[in-house]
Amino acid sequence: MDASYQIVPFPKLRRLMVDGGQMARQKHLVHGLVELDVTDARRWIRAHKAKTGEALSFTAFMAGCVGRAVEMNKPMQAYRAGRERLVIFAEVDINTLFEVEVAGRRIIRPHIVRAANRRTLRDIHEEIRTFQTEHESGREARFIGWFVHLPAFARRFLLRMLFRNPHRLKEMNGTVSLTSVGMFGAGGGWGIPMSNHTLQVTLGGIAERAVLIAGQWENREFLGVTISIDHDIVDGAPAARFCQQLRELVENSYGIAGFVGKPG
């Protein structure tokens, strides 16, 4: 036996990524790379953890900001209904991805945060923490468990049917995607995703650099964020407005004051 390599099974869960990639190739995605100053938000989060021992989910914070920014720009999450119509939902259902442990292995599993535009940061944080500990009993795990065992032609047929029904698509896939690649490494950077959503927000790395503020140099933390839109549905101007409003929410630590109280 040659010890210079090993052969391992292809994980069945990766079939979801293969199928998703096939579907994403049909979209005309445009990506915008932006930097958001998360210094104040992270300072509040660290202060809260030092005081209480509770670690606020940064993903929950960003989900709250994205939900609110989409609330102000609902067409950003529109789905096509046939060739001549769009469906614009009132609720912002954010499809998120988390690394969890199953049978001793680390895998990625999705979870949809429903109505993120109407939820407090505390609500979203507690839902995410509950999912991370109870993911094996969740709806997502049950669906994935049988879906990935279907043959490829059956999976892709079902996905095509799903994408023709906006209401079913919202139920099974959410209306917006939020994913983080920066949590797995250090330093700044951006991720360029394949996406099956009209809007996907991809969180990259955090870089620290000096910024001149009121004549004084100050070290600030900047999060690399990729805003990906389906250009068949969303034009550049509304996408730019969404980006600006997301920036204002993040840089003003939206929702954190109600969660942690004013930092000392």
pLDDT per residue over 178-204, tens digit each? 998 765 556 778 888 888 899 999 999
> Does residue 5 form part of some domain?
no
- pTM to 2 decimal places: 0.88
Answer whether 111's CB lies under 8 Å from 140's CB.
Answer: yes
pLDDT band at 1 (very low <50, low <70, confident <90, very high): low
CATH of the domain at 216: 3.30.559.10
> Does residue 175 form part of some domain?
yes
Query: How confident is the model over 128-153, as pLDDT tens digits?
Result: 999 888 776 667 667 777 788 888 88
pLDDT of residue 132: 83
Domain interval for residue 88? 14-260
> Does residue 83 form part of some domain?
yes
> Does residue 6 form part of some domain?
no
**Distance, C-alpha 159 to centroid of its chain:** 20
> Does residue 7 form part of some domain?
no
> Does residue 124 form part of some domain?
yes
Structure tokens at 35: 């930097």
What is the rounded distance in angstroms from the CA atom of residue 13 to the CA atom of residue 144? 8
What is the rounded distance in angstroms from the CA atom of residue 78 to the CA atom of residue 213? 39
**How many distinct structural domains can be found in the chain?**
1
Structure tokens at 220: 């600030």
> Does residue 234 form part of some domain?
yes
What is the rounded distance in angstroms from the CA atom of residue 111 to the CA atom of residue 8? 28
